[in-house]
């Protein structure tokens, strides 16, 4: 007999996913890896959105629709991010984050 | 006509403004006739009111009020709305006094056309006289004692202006200041009384104050305090002891102006205000007694001073003071009717006396009676008219003064025997000094041939008013006394502790009913009603018969002493009783007493000033300042040493911390920044969640 899935389960999963994302963003040297980790954090937030919507307002689909919008915006953002990365690579011949310190004060 | 009574003060007021500001100064200007015309209209109005009132066509008192202003005030948490109307209240005394004031003022103005004809401030004189009369009329008609008080003060101003009319000379300037300040001293009492009235009654309306007392809301003590205050005002204005010192000096003004002050306006105002608020006195028997004694002392002292003075106007001034004492005394013993009756008759013969004296002075150019004598041949009309006035003021049977003075003496006789005997003596002194004036001025042979030679009868504008006033001096007493008219017109007000009784009952019978119902408050009313007013108006038979003979004896004595050009007999008396003469000559040393008082007050003020400058200023003000400064310095030191340092310390700490922490970060590493953000965020989240 299995216990039914509660909101906490979803939140634990989302929290783990978010921590993995944070860990990746802090440790990856490659900017592409960092971008992917950020995507993971996005998705953790998305899971929260959908889960809250399901458990707190089960009658509607507002949260799920919002999650779809977030994914769309994230996709658009990743496009911009990859475009910037490409520009940086062309200028500096590197994709490692520690080599970018142009904005250093 | 009575509904137009409000015009009576307004017309002369307008006239005075027109004369003052609308005309050029010119000794021969016809401007005086504006004032005379205005006063004629007022006289017509007043006479029609009085005739209708005497004939019973209009019921008195007549009151009509207009909205003036109202204001809200909160007292003790409750808010009140006070209404202050402005209006006219014509009762019997007011109706009589309106005629007296307008008539005397008219006579004075006509007379002045001739008397002042060469003066450089001709129009100003007439403007002042009109203004003076308007103020008095305002006081007489006003239903609101506040407006009455304003008129009262305007009258003080007018008297100041008229007494000091010839301000180039020192005498008038000093006299006007003395008059103004002395009367202001009295006015302060009246002012306090008015404040007290308003605090208690909440209204300045005379009828409402009367109603308030009728309802028994005013305690005897309060009534006494208020009555004494009013009495004090009347003592200043009506020249009662000890404030009569200004009146003899007021003789410095133009003689017709003196006639106005002494007969119709200024001095009548005090008596009139006491009579107007007589119901307060009725509720305060103590104040009545004070008034009676003040009147008695005044009458006696002034008559005594008149015995020895050689200045014709001074004698008349003292005589005015003395007669005012009679009125005040009459009011004090409950003789309301007789007091006002005497005010009326006195106005006629005293105006006549002053105008006659003016005529004499105009002719011989001196005030000193020792330089006159034998003027009867040169000035027959003045002689005869003055004679009529002398008869009236002495109280020869049939003249106006006889009726009113007799009534006063009778009132006093039944109320207070000690005062009666003093007043009887004073009445005889009156007859004596007036005869003395008459004899010295007109009788026998001339003393100063030069002056006598130039003496001449005055023109018609001067003698005309004299003749009319002489006629009134002789017959007004009889006319008013006939059919008890005076008792109807000048009915004594009554007070009762009963619920609203409306206006004062006119007849003594009604008053006695009130008195029996309410014994507590209306002792005076009961006294009045007891024998009926008519009984009190007559002396016991033997006195009534003896009085004329006493007066004649007194006149005879004056003739014996002062006949002949040298009056050696009187001079002999004077040297025998030199100290007494000196006392009277120096006016009972009252002026010196006031001088001493002023000097004493000045000394006290000097001491007080020294204390203020050296003790209060030095110790309290400066000391307090010093103490405050010391505390401020200490406070400043604490601020600089501790507070500011603490603030600076925290600032420096934050700065150092920031700089130190920045050294830890390897600059430009985006992931390192992100790590700090993550650490800070998780710390913050932990803090918030575990709280």
pLDDT digits (tens, 9 = 90+) for B380-437: 888 888 888 888 888 888 888 888 888 888 888 888 888 888 888 888 888 888 888 8
Inside any domain, residue B690: no
**Interchain contact, B667 vs A26, CB within 8 Å:** no
Q: In this model, does residue A13 exceed pLDDT 90?
A: yes
Helical segments of B482-567, H only: 485-489, 508-517, 523-530, 533-536, 541-562
**Interchain contact, B675 vs A104, CB within 8 Å:** no
Which of residues 70 through 99 in chain A touch B, CB cutoff 8 A? Answer: 97-98
Distance CA B53, CA B674 (A): 111
**Interchain contact, A98 vs B675, CB within 8 Å:** no
Residue-level pLDDT at B29: 74
* Chain A residue closest in CA terms to B678: A22
Residue-level pLDDT at B534: 52
Question: Domain end: B585, B610, B632, which one?
Answer: B585
What is chain B's Cα-based Rg? 36
| 3-state secondary structure at position B254 | coil
Question: Domain end: B553, B585, B617, which one?
Answer: B585
Q: Which residue has the tokens 């004494």?
A: B228
Residues of B in contact with A22 (CB under 8 A): 678
With vertex at residue B507, the alpha carbon angle to CA B473 and CA B293, rounded to the nearest 5 degrees, is 60
B516 and B657 belong to one structural domain: no
Residue-level pLDDT at B518: 40
Note whether B109 and B37 are within 8 A (CB): no
What number is the average pLDDT over the span B280-287?
Answer: 87
Quote the domain boundaries for residue B648.
592-680
Question: Domain end: B552, B585, B618, which one?
Answer: B585
Inside any domain, residue B687: no
**Interchain contact, B670 vs A97, CB within 8 Å:** yes
The closest alpha carbon to B271, from B125, B132, B93, belongs to B93
Residue-level pLDDT at B523: 43
Residue-level pLDDT at B528: 46
Residue-level pLDDT at B626: 93
Note whether B88 and B143 are within 8 A (CB): yes
Distance CA B16, CA B3 (A): 23
Q: In this model, does residue B511 exceed pLDDT 50?
A: no
Q: In this model, does residue B515 exceed pLDDT 60?
A: no
Q: In this model, does residue B505 exceed pLDDT 60?
A: no
The complex's ipTM?
0.82
For B634, how many CA atoms within 13 A lie in the half-sphere containing its CB?
Answer: 6
Higher pLDDT among residues B536 and B132, named by residue = B132
Q: What is the DSSP string of B591-612?
A: HHHHHHHHHHHHHHHHHHHHHI
Confidence of residue B370 (pLDDT cuts 50, 70, 90): confident
Note whether B384 and B372 are within 8 A (CB): no
B605 and B577 belong to one structural domain: no
Burial class (CB in 10 A: 0-12, 13-18, 19+), B263: buried
Nearest by CB: B675 against A26, A100, A104: A26
Distance CA B392, CA B346 (A): 9
B569 and B625 belong to one structural domain: no
Residue-level pLDDT at B526: 42
With vertex at residue B460, the alpha carbon angle to CA B458 and CA B461, rounded to the nearest 5 degrees, is 95
Sign of the torsion angle spanned by Cα atoms B405, B407, B408, B409: positive
B547 and B613 belong to one structural domain: no
B656 and B639 belong to one structural domain: yes
Distance CA B199, CA B177 (A): 32
Report the share of chain B in percent with pLDDT over 90: 12
B580 and B612 belong to one structural domain: no
DSSP 8-state symbol, B144: B
Inside any domain, residue B520: yes
B531 and B596 belong to one structural domain: no
Inside any domain, residue B685: no
Inside any domain, residue B691: no
Residue-level pLDDT at B565: 65
Nearest by CB: B667 against A22, A27, A105: A105
Distance CA A42, CA A15 (A): 11
Domain ranges of chain A: 7-93
Q: What is the DSSP string of A26-93?
A: HH--BHHHHHHHHHHHHHHHHHHHHHHHHHH-TT--HHHHHHHHHHHHHHHHHHHHHHHHHHHHHHHS
Distance CA A39, CA A32 (A): 11
B68 and B106 belong to one structural domain: yes
Instruction: Look up residue A40 and give its two tokens.
Output: 């993971």
Q: In this model, does residue B507 exceed pLDDT 50?
A: no
* Chain A closest-CA separation from residue B670 CA (Å): 7
Give the count of beta carbons closer than 10 Å to the beta carbon of residue B197: 23
Q: What is the DSSP string of B290-320?
A: HHHHHHHHHHHHHHHHHHH--BHHHHHHHHH
Inside any domain, residue B15: yes
* Chain A residue closest in CA terms to B679: A22
B568 and B653 belong to one structural domain: no
Q: In this model, does residue B654 exceed pLDDT 90?
A: yes
Q: In this model, does residue B368 exceed pLDDT 90?
A: no
Report the top-level CATH class of A7-93. Answer: mainly alpha
| Residue B564 backbone dihedrals phi, psi, to 5 degrees | 85, 160
Distance CA B303, CA A56 (A): 114
Distance CA B482, CA B35 (A): 34
B608 and B576 belong to one structural domain: no
Residues of A in contact with B675 (CB under 8 A): 26
Total domains in the fold of chain B: 2
């Amino acid at each position: 007999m299995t216990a039914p899935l509660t909101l906490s389960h979803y939140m634990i999963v989302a929290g783990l996913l978010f921590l993995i994302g944070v860990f990746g963003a802090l440790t990856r040297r490659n900017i592409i890896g960092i971008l992917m980790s950020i995507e993971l954090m996005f998705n953790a937030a998305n899971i929260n959105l959908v889960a809250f919507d399901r458990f707190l307002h089960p009658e509607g689909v507002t949260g799920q629709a919002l999650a779809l919008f977030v994914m769309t915006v994230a996709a658009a953002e990743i496009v911009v991010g990859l475009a910037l990365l490409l520009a940086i690579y062309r200028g500096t011949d590197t994709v490692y984050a520690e080599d970018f310190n142009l904005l250093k004060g | 006509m009575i509904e137009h009574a409000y015009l009576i003060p307004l017309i002369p007021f307008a006239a005075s403004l027109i004369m003052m500001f609308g005309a050029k100064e010119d000794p021969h200007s016809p401007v005086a006739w504006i004032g005379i015309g205005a006063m004629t209209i007022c006289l017509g109005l007043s006479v029609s009111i009085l005739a209708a009132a005497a004939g019973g066509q209009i019921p008195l008192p007549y009151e009509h009020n207009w909205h003036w202003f109202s204001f809200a005030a909160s007292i003790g948490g409750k808010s009140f709305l006070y209404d202050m109307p402005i209006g006219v209240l014509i009762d019997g005394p007011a109706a009589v006094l309106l005629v007296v004031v307008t008539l005397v003022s008219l006579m004075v103005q006509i007379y002045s056309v001739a008397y002042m004809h060469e003066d450089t401030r001709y129009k100003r004189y007439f403007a002042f006289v009109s203004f003076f009369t308007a103020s008095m009329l305002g006081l007489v008609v006003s239903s609101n004692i506040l407006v009455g008080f304003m008129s009262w003060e305007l009258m003080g101003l007018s008297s100041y202006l008229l007494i000091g009319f010839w301000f180039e000379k020192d005498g008038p300037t000093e006299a006007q200041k003395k008059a103004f300040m002395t009367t202001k001293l009295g006015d302060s009492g009246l002012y306090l009384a008015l404040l007290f009235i308003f605090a208690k009654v909440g209204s300045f309306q005379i009828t409402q104050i009367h109603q308030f007392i009728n309802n028994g809301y005013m305690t005897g003590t309060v009534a006494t305090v208020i009555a004494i205050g009013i009495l004090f005002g009347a003592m200043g204005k009506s020249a009662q002891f000890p404030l009569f010192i200004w009146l003899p000096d007021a003789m410095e003004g133009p003689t017709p102006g003196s006639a106005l002050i002494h007969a119709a306006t200024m001095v009548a105002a005090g008596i009139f205000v006491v009579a107007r608020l007589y119901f307060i006195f009725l509720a305060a028997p103590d104040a009545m007694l004070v008034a009676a004694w003040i009147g008695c002392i005044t009458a006696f002292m002034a008559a005594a001073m008149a015995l020895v003075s050689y200045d014709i106007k001074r004698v008349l001034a003292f005589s005015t003071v003395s007669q005012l004492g009679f009125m005040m005394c009459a009011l004090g013993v409950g003789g309301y009717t007789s007091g006002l009756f005497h005010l009326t008759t006195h106005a006629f013969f005293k105006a006549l006396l002053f105008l006659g004296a003016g005529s004499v002075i105009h002719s011989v150019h001196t005030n000193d009676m020792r330089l006159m004598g034998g003027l009867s041949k040169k000035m027959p009309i003045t002689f005869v008219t003055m004679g009529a006035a002398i008869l009236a003021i002495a109280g020869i049977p049939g003249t106006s003064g006889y009726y009113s003075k007799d009534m006063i003496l009778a009132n006093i006789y039944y109320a207070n025997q000690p005062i009666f005997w003093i007043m009887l003596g004073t009445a005889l002194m009156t007859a004596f000094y007036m005869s003395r004036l008459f004899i010295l001025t007109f009788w026998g042979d001339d003393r100063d041939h030069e002056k006598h030679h130039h003496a001449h009868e005055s023109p018609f504008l001067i003698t005309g008013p004299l003749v009319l006033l002489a006629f009134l001096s002789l017959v007004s007493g009889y006319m008013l006394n006939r059919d008890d008219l005076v008792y109807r017109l000048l009915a004594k007000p009554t007070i009762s502790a009963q619920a609203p009784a409306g206006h004062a009952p006119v007849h003594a019978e009604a008053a006695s009913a009130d008195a029996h119902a309410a014994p507590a408050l209306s002792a005076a009313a009961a006294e009045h009603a007891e024998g009926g007013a008519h009984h009190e108006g007559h002396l016991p038979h033997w006195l009534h018969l003896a009085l004329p003979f006493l007066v004649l004896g007194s006149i005879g004595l004056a003739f014996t002493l002062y006949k002949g050009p040298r009056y050696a007999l009187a001079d002999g008396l004077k040297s025998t009783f030199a100290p007494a003469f000196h006392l009277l000559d120096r006016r009972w040393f009252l002026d010196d007493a006031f001088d001493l008082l002023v000097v004493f007050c000045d000394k006290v003020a000097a001491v007080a000033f020294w204390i203020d400058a050296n003790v209060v200023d030095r110790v309290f003000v400066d000391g307090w300042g010093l103490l405050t400064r010391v505390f401020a310095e200490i406070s400043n030191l604490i601020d600089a040493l501790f507070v500011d340092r603490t603030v600076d310390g925290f600032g420096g700490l934050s700065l150092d911390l920031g700089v130190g922490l920045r050294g830890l970060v390897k600059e430009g590493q985006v992931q390192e920044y992100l790590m700090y953000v993550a650490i800070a965020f998780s710390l913050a989240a932990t803090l918030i969640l575990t709280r």
